[in-house]
Amino acid sequence: MFRSHTLKIGAILSIFLLVISSDISAQDKNNEIKKKTVNEGSKIIGLKFSDTERDSMLDDLNYNLEGYRMLREISLDNSVAPSLIFNPIPPGFEPDRVFDSIIVSPVGPIEAPVDLNDLAFYSIGDLGALIRSGQITSTQLTELVIDRLKKYDSQLHCVITLTEETALAQAARADEELAAGIYRGPLHGIPYGAKDLLASKGYKTTWGAMPYKDQIIEHDAAVIRRLEEAGAVLVAKLSLGALAWGDVWYADTTKNPWNLEQGSSGSSAGSASAVAAGLVPFAIGSETWGSIVSPSTRCGTTGLRPTYGRVSRTGAMALSWSMDKLGPICRTVEDCALVFDAIIGPDGLDQSVIDVSFNYTPEVDFTNLRIGYLIKDFESDTVYAAQNTAALKKLEELGANLIPIELPDFPAQAMEIILSAEAAAAFDELTRSGRDDLLVRQVKNAWPNVFRSSRFIPAVEYIQANRLRTLLIERMARIMSRVDLYISPSFEGNNLLFTNLTGHPCVVLPDGFNDDGEPTSITFIGRLYDEATLLAAAKKYQDATDFHKQHPPLFK
């Protein structure tokens, strides 16, 4: 996940839960809650109660306390989701359920380079054409990718586990199948990396965190299984900031290939770094609040954050059950479409996923689309004004009639507690056991402190924030009824948080470079479940630029 320095921390349990366990002096030998504890605790939640009211509460509070103890006697694995399922669909919305095969851009005549190392930055489409035509084999490509991962990981620190044995076996199978005329689709024989919060049978799934560095989950995540069925080749479990925050994991900091003095941002740190450096053709990342957008921006990759409920999270570490999303990080927009098509759809286990069509075609006419742009955010984003202005101008040159829009006026800061609450619940046992001390980052703005402080958000306020979220979803639906998609600076204003709360999809792609020669980005936001239009529009912009074709010099 990605967080600003203004993030306020919290959790789902009642304010009294931690107060009562820490203020022993206010309790008797049986550890019962006394009026003094209630009086002090009420200050944290901004409420006042009379002496009589506090006295009346004591029986209920002590009754609840005993219930907390009973709940804690039952071990809850991170994979156990709450029985409450978030639904981003506003009233009256009906997703498209007419299923057609996707259409991809034709690949022109292509020949394998004399030096196969030149394949490092080829697109999935081009690599697939070379494999299908027999000019290269999946095994050759996989060996090249593994060699580059081994060669450059000492500089980038983007690999947690190489899955070399599995990769070579999968590549050999792909070659055998293709030789026999069996074609699984455009990912057949293509190597990839997975963020190490996705389980892969036989390998460690560390979540990037010291307490889990030896964890083995003996089943494949749904996304890993879907990609294997598509013929893709898993070559590495890639780094993530510990428990999906930032780019610092238990062994190191993942680096930005454009500037090795700089972290790659997070939390899909290794996924973006490895793709940008030409170590893998694509990778799977995840986003709760910016974890695809942020590292894709830093590293100059193209990332798709799908609509909430599009891709199964079975076998993925849970951080926020109502906000977590899995998506591809690639070199091009159409590569994202190819990967997305392979991983979407229900698996019968993640109950948040619905079966909705993805009828992608690269053909799009901007003159027939209503394209909005966040006028106030573009006006206030002075740091990247040159890149933003150029991006909007390019869209107009391509025929876009840009419509100024504004986001709803909602208290974004107050709604951050939804993520904090769910994250603290997901790692409740880590906090109570004291093993959170093992995490590398122990500053105030890091998970250990967030999880502890999060226990002080009342359950009532968590519910109220989600009720406000319902209103936000309805207001966003009104905005999206005016446009087919809209454009936003990647980090200005509340767009990143709001659209993660409402579940809207986005594509982030490079739109230039700053004065230090590091990539910058622009974000396209689409309607719920309309990744097809969103990707087609982003592709048209990307095809009219060459920023995605520029690569970090140290890794060419």
Name the token pair of 371.
Answer: 């394209």
Catalytic residue among 138, 291, 312, 320: 291
Going 534 to 230 to 326 to 161, the CA torsion angle's sign is negative
* Known catalytic residue at 195: yes
Could you give the CA distance from residue 169 to residue 160 in angstroms, rounded to a whole number? Answer: 20
Span 196-240, pLDDT tens digits: 999 999 999 999 999 999 999 999 999 999 999 999 999 999 999
- Domain positions in the chain are 16-74+411-467, 116-406+484-555
* Known catalytic residue at 291: yes
Could you give the CA distance from residue 437 to residue 308 in angstroms, rounded to a whole number? Answer: 32
For position 322, what pLDDT does the model report?
A: 98
**Segment 32-49 mean pLDDT:** 89
Q: Are 208 and 249 in contact (CB under 8 A)?
A: yes
**Segment 164-193 mean pLDDT:** 98
Poorest-pLDDT segment among 16-25, 119-128, 135-144, 465-474? 16-25
Span 103-127, pLDDT tens digits: 999 998 999 999 999 999 999 999 9
Assign a CATH topology to domain 116-406+484-555. Answer: Amidase signature (AS) enzymes (3.90.1300)
Look over the chain and give the mean of its residue pLDDT values, rounded to a whole number: 93
Catalytic residue among 267, 296, 312, 488: 267
For position 32, what pLDDT does the model report?
A: 82
Share of the chain above pLDDT 90, in %: 89
* Known catalytic residue at 267: yes
**Segment 428-455 mean pLDDT:** 95
Residue recorded with tokens 């909005």: 372
Its pTM stands at 0.93
Catalytic residue among 34, 123, 195, 273: 195
Instruction: Kindly report the three-state secondary structure assignment for every residue of 228-296.
Output: HHCCCEEEEEECCCCCCCCCECCCCECEECCEEEEECCCCCHHHHHHHHCCCCCCEEEEECCCCCHHHH
Q: Is 152 helix (H, G, I), strand (E, B) or coil?
A: helix
pLDDT band per the 50, 70, 90 thresholds, residue 380: very high
